[in-house]
Amino acid sequence: MQNSSGNLILEINDLHASIEDQSILKGVNLKIYAGEIHAIMGRNGSGKSTLSKVIAGHPAYSITSGIIKFNNQNILDLEPEERGRAGIFLGFQYPLEIPGVSNIEFLRVATNARRQALKKEELDTFEFEDLVHEKLKLVQMDPSFLERSVNEGFSGGEKKRNEILQMALLEPTLGILDETDSGLDIDALRIVATGVQKLSKNDTATILITHYQRLLNEITPNFVHVMVDGKIAHTGGKELALKLEESGYDWIEKDSNKSEELKK
């Protein structure tokens, strides 16, 4: 289903999640509308990656309370593949290497799964080759990477480009990019950022999880959120990212602690 600009794509209410009895998300609230780009920042261990995995349906996490709605549908009961087909895409912080599985076969199977959900015709191998070669240009990736095993022996930058290539093929409604900028040199960062920008449309939304301001120089977010201890502690515009770059996270954590105490 296509969203018209301004539709609510993702709604998270009071989300609590844990892994092996350890509570990680402690009440996340977030609303993302079509056409928006949100950046989520925060220290290591603040829950950013967990949030992205929970939205994508990683089986290791259990949701203890709260709700996630995607296109107004509760997705907590959906399997990861159902979420993927519905249009949620998670760009992995550490894309997995899968020896023996050809990249092009993987990309074709994934693309056809998504196309089926969109009620589009599946692509045969020849049609898919045409499509994938067109999308390769977006991330300036060498076609030889298609013939290799998924991510096997790829450099950090090549893996991230392969993630953006998947995003280009799957045309998700919601793209979540978990530290896509980490391990990229400045040229690769620019290529990835340009790719993401080109894929952002009026009817899609993007979440960028990052530690650094430098990605946000390339892609301007509408909102910047800071996560502290499993919650979104502060929300602002692009200027918030600049302030964090200058002053670090201490002031937000202090503010967050104060407001917690006031609540008590």
Partner 1 sequence: MKPSMLCQEWLTSLSKPDGILQEIQKQSRDSIQKVGLPSKNDEDWRVTNFKRLQKILEIPIAKGKKIDLKPELNILKSTKNKVWQFTLSPELQEFSKMELPNGVELINEKELQIYLGNNIELFKCKEEWSTLINECSAGQVLGLKVTGKDLPTLEVLIPAESNCFNATRLLLVLEEEAKVEVVQVFLGSNFSAQSHLIEIELAERSNFQHTIIALGGGEASLSAQTIIKQEKLSNYSLNFLQSGWLWSRLEPRIVQINGEAETNIKGLQIARKNEQVSTHSFVRFNGPDGKLNQLNKALADDSGHSIFYGSIQVPKIAQQTQANQLSRNLLLSKRARIDAKPQLEIIADDVSCTHGATVSELQEEELFYLKSRGIDSNRANSLLLNGFYQEIISAFPMNWKRWLFSSDLFEVKNKE
Q: How far is CA 84 from CA 59, 71, 87, 88, 117, in A?
A: 14, 13, 5, 5, 10
Q: Is 93 in the site for partner 1 (CB under 8 A)?
A: no
Q: Say if residues 219 and 193 touch (Cβ distance below 8 Å).
A: yes
CB-wise, 135 or 231, nearer to partner 1?
135
CB 168 within 8 A of CB 89: no
Of 99, 143, 153, 237, the one binding partner 1 by CB under 8 A: 99
Contacts of partner 1 in 149-208 (CB under 8 A) = 149, 166, 170
What are the φ/ψ torsions at residue 71 (nearest 5 degrees)?
A: 50, 45
C-beta of 96: minimal distance to partner 1 in Å?
5
Contact between 96 and partner 1 by CB under 8 A: the answer reads yes
Contact between residue 256 and residue 234 where contact means Cβ atoms under 8 Å apart: yes
92 is a site residue for partner 1 (CB under 8 A): yes
Residue 119 CA to residue 98 CA, distance in Å, equals 29
Q: Closer CB to partner 1, residue 83 or residue 225?
A: 83
77 near partner 1, judged by CB under 8 A: no
Which chain residues interact with partner 1 by CB under 8 A?
Answer: 56-60, 79-81, 83-85, 89-90, 92, 95-96, 98-101, 105-106, 109-110, 113-114, 117, 149, 166, 170
